[in-house]
Structure formats: structure tokens, C-alpha cells
Structure 1
């Protein structure tokens, strides 16, 4: 008779797959799929509660693959589910990289199942050496998501700026190297790049170019005269 159920849950934006194993790795019931919404979460809890009663289990260990944000609502639902409070329950968020690495350990002895990934998650929970999720971590969850978003945007901006610098080289080969402006993508610099060709900068009176730089720099640039001179000396 099983004393512990090791449940693996594979989560996507639309559904959750569930596999439950006992201590020996035997599958306690056929794999089931549930919609990734409140109704689906309720159905998943009912299955866990049913198996817990059927096998008179003493502990419940649930592993969720940490796939983006798709498992957050289910994780919180499981923590609050009244039927599961009858058993000592631990929930683990498992990095997909860890799951992929553990999957390789099966080699040619992979189980014959249509839901290999969720089976591997359950086996990884059974293997142990995981840190249970603690609700205190939810306090920093919004900040973590915002930090990840900011990092993604910074990386995306860097890629696009490098692409722009490659194109800029075709118009002003020395523009980025000579740095007439401290910020190549600053407001005044972009205005110059959008309005003038190299030949037009050479022909433009110095005073007019200084006025143009000042007006597009909100009169905050320290040495617009030196910037204008550098621009007029740039090779095409």
C-alpha cells in the first residue's frame, strides 16, 4: 500500500497533465489532463484526493514544471485546496532544464507512455533532493517577473541598437567611433541622423548646425559648438 504519492504536473497555457507514482515508481492511475483554469484545477484536486483516500497515503509530494507563469495560479490553488490539507503536502517548482537533464537518465529504458514529460516530472519528485515551495516567496514574485521583463527588454534593446549601428556605418562610417554626441541614440543625435546626409552637414553653416543641435537637445548640451565641428569633419 502506498504511503506517499509523488505527483508530476506538466503545465502549458491551455492544459495540465497529471501522473501519480508510488514509492516504487509504479503509476497509480492513468495519466489525466485538465484545463489550465479554475475548473481544471478543481478536477485535478479531486483526483489527488481520490487517490489519497484509495491508497490511504500519508504524504503528498507534488512537482510542477516551472514553465513561465502558467503554473502560478495552479500552485496557489493547490496550496489553498481544502481536500489536500488532510495530508502533509509539499509542492516543488522544478526548472525545465532539470527535467530535461533527468529525462536523459532513462536512456533506452524510457517508460511506454504518451505523457513522457509529466512522468519524468513525477520521477524527479520521487528522486528527491528538491526544495519545497514556500508561500513567503510569493511576496517577491511580482518583482521577479518585472525584473525578468526588464532584463528581456534591455537585451532586446541592445540587439536592436547593434543592428542600427551596423546600418549607421553605411551612412556615417565614423559616427559611432568619433562620438560627436555622448549618446548615439540620444534625441539630438537622432535628429541629426534623420535630417541630414554627410554632405549636407559639411555644407551647412556652423551657426545653423549649432542652433539645430541646441534646439533638439533642449538647450541642455554642454558644448554644442564642439559637437557641430566634429559633425562637419566626419567622413562619409
Structure 2
């Protein structure tokens, strides 16, 4: 007989349902425990009592992924030495999946009923990734997920900076692009130039040679054509609208604040990159991924942190589905839709690191570069987004092979198959 324990986890409580898989689906116990070390220890005692009372072939403890609240209970049961002797399996499932399963049955909603349906969900073996990840993967996950969150903040800050640059000098992005300059509005030099004590009129009236020298000094001599850049900026200033003094002052303050935010976030990302690189080398599998051209320690860490032990997944299709890199089929009768959108569910952190790693790899690997360009020309809309996602799906197969076989990447020789 197997025992399935459904835990409905909240910040304060663990509502538990102990359900057997015999013909009667017997509920041995329903109770509320405190979400603490004491409460988890009480559940453990109940489990050990049932081990003595019944011939249990397996114990499954299942719960929903409820933000921070499910972390400690899951790790408690997984790492407990006493329970490890009794074929214990701990699983944390996406709440949306259990919700969809529960909606089949029309009953009132409360914590006791929720715990029962969680136990029933795991009894039906509907979950795909039952194993809770090892500690080193979870530690790495804290760093890589925080890094992504800060990267998203940085992207938003840069978008705000660009918006406010338009108020101050609306022609600047256009002139930079039209004159063939590869300098971005978000370059450190341009950010400093637009947020320092120089007014637009002062910059426009400055002799070209002096303006070019100022730009080269701010850029620490990295510009190949400072005169051309100075000319493009001066032209943008002359062609841009002027704000009133009060509004101009407010825009300058906003730009200055956002510029400091951008510098601060970039510094934080560098610190996290260093911490990630120091930790990921303790995970042996990192060498499998860093052997791929274009994949550094940070991208490898992000992928490993979310996948964990590769044995959690039966094959590469399960990894792709877990990351949301799949297209659900739509079929009715003899009709099957050919235009199906990418799945919106899945682990967004894994999807991000897989796509970013793919985008880096395809610049260094001929096979993946050819595949990307093949998919790019197959459609007229959203070419890059579609091509990179399809290439990332191909990349998942490579990741699965390397991690499962513990091997390094060897580029394919000979003609590339298309």
C-alpha cells in the first residue's frame, strides 16, 4: 500500500490529508499543523506511526509551490534521515495544475478540502517532476533568479531613460542611427553627457573640435570617430524641440535619478555574476554546458539551477514543457490548427536562460547559426523572436544529451543538415 500526503501550505499552517491508494481510498487522517519545525516534526511522527501500523511500499508527500512557504517543508521531508529509509518521495507542483484538477469537482473550497485534492492529485500520478532539487541547485537558484529579477529592473530603468531622453532631445536616437554611429543612447558616455551640468544649448554652441574632445575624454578614448558622433549629437540638439525651464529642470532630475539607478543595478549584476561563477564550479555538470561555444558560467548556472538533477525529467520533451518551450496541439475532428501559439505556462527562469544561452551560442556555432537563419526567413512577422525560440527548442535537446551522458560538446563536422 502507498500513502499520499497532501499538504496545503500557507505562511502559518500546514493542512494535511493522509490518503491511501487502496480500493476504498481511505483517509487515515486530516489535521492542521503549524508551518514550523515543530509542525513538520509532528507530521513526521504521524508518518512513522503509519509505517509501523501499515505495510507501506511508498510514501509521497506533495504540495503546491506557494512562493517561499513551501520551501522549508519540502526540504525538511526530503532531507530527513529517518524518513529516507521508507521510499519517501517529495514533490512540489505548480498550483495552476492542481487548481485545474480540482475544478473538475464541484465542492466548496477550504483548506481541508484543498489538502485532500492535493493528495488525490499526486495519487493519480499526474505530476511530471517529482524529485525536489539538491541543495547546491537551490543555492544557485537563489542567485540566478535574483539576477534575472535585477536584469528586468535594469531593462525597465533603461526604457524609462529612453522615454525621458525623448522629452529632452527627441532627435537624438534618430540622428545617432541615421549617421551610422554604433553608439547607443544608453552608452555610459551619452548617459553622462545628458545628465551632467551641460545644457543642450551649451553643447550645441561648443566648437566641434572641443565637443569631440569632450566626448573622447568621457569615453576614455574608445571612440573611433568622435567628430562624427559630436556632429550627430549637435545636429540632434539643433533639430529637437525645447522645453520650458520648469519642465526641463524636472526632466533633468528624472534623467539623473534613473542614470544613478542604472549604474547601481549594473553594479549589483556584476556582484551576482561573481557569486554565481564562484558557486557553479562546485556543480560538476557545469563543464558540460560551458563546453558549448558562447555559453559562459552565468548562463550555465541559470540552466542548471532550474533543471537540477537531469534525472528529474524522463527526456528532453519534459524539459521543454517544463520551460514552456512547446506548442500545444489544437485538433478537432479532422481539422488540426497549423497556427498554434507558444505555451504561456512553464518555468520562466529556465525559459529565459535557455533562450539567452541559445542567442549567444548561435553567434559562435555554425550549425545553430544556420538553423536560426533558416527559421528567420520562414516567416514575415516577429522573425527574431520566432527563430530564437525555435532554436532554443533545438538547444534543449543538446542540453539534455550533454547532461544525461555527462559529456562535453563536440561541434558537428561536415555539411550542416537543414
| Structure-1-length-normalised TM-score | 0.82
What residue number does 1:32 align with?
A: 32
Q: Is the 8 A contact 2:74 2:91 kept in 1?
A: no
Asked if 1:182 corresponds to 2:183, the answer is yes
Q: 1:164 aligns with which of 140, 157, 161?
A: 161
Gaps of 5+ in 2: 241-418
Q: CA offset at residue 69 of structure 1? A: 4.7
Counterparts of 2:112 and 2:183, CA distance in 1? 56
Asked if 1:102 corresponds to 2:90, the answer is no
Higher relative contact order at CA 8 Å, sep ≥6: structure 1 or structure 2? 1
Go from structure 1 to structure 2 and tell me whether the alpha carbon gap of 1:142 and 1:4 turns closer, same or farther (over 3 Å shift): same
Counterparts of 1:143 and 1:80, CA distance in 2? 18
Corresponding pairs, count? 231
What residue number does 2:65 align with?
A: 66
Counterparts of 1:35 and 1:200, CA distance in 2? 63
Q: Rg bigger for which structure? A: 1
Q: 2:125 aligns with which of 119, 124, 128?
A: 128
What residue number does 2:89 align with?
A: 90
Q: Is the 8 A contact 2:30 2:112 kept in 1?
A: no
1:28 counterpart SS class: strand
Q: Is the 8 A contact 1:181 1:227 kept in 2?
A: no
Q: CA offset at residue 217 of structure 1? A: 1.2
1:143-186 residue CA offsets vs partner (Å, 9 max, x unmatched): 34433333222222222222221221111112223336623222
Q: CA offset at residue 128 of structure 1? A: 0.9
Go from structure 1 to structure 2 and tell me whether the alpha carbon gap of 1:45 and 1:178 turns closer, same or farther (over 3 Å shift): farther
Asked if 1:5 corresponds to 2:3, the answer is yes
What residue number does 1:57 align with?
A: 56
Q: Is the 8 A contact 1:34 1:43 kept in 2?
A: no
| Structure-2-length-normalised TM-score | 0.49
1:31 counterpart SS class: strand
What residue number does 1:75 align with?
A: 74
What residue number does 1:193 align with?
A: 194
What residue number does 1:207 align with?
A: 209
Counterparts of 2:234 and 2:214, CA distance in 1? 13
Q: CA offset at residue 8 of structure 1? A: 1.3
Q: CA offset at residue 98 of structure 1? A: 1.4
Asked if 1:143 corresponds to 2:156, the answer is no
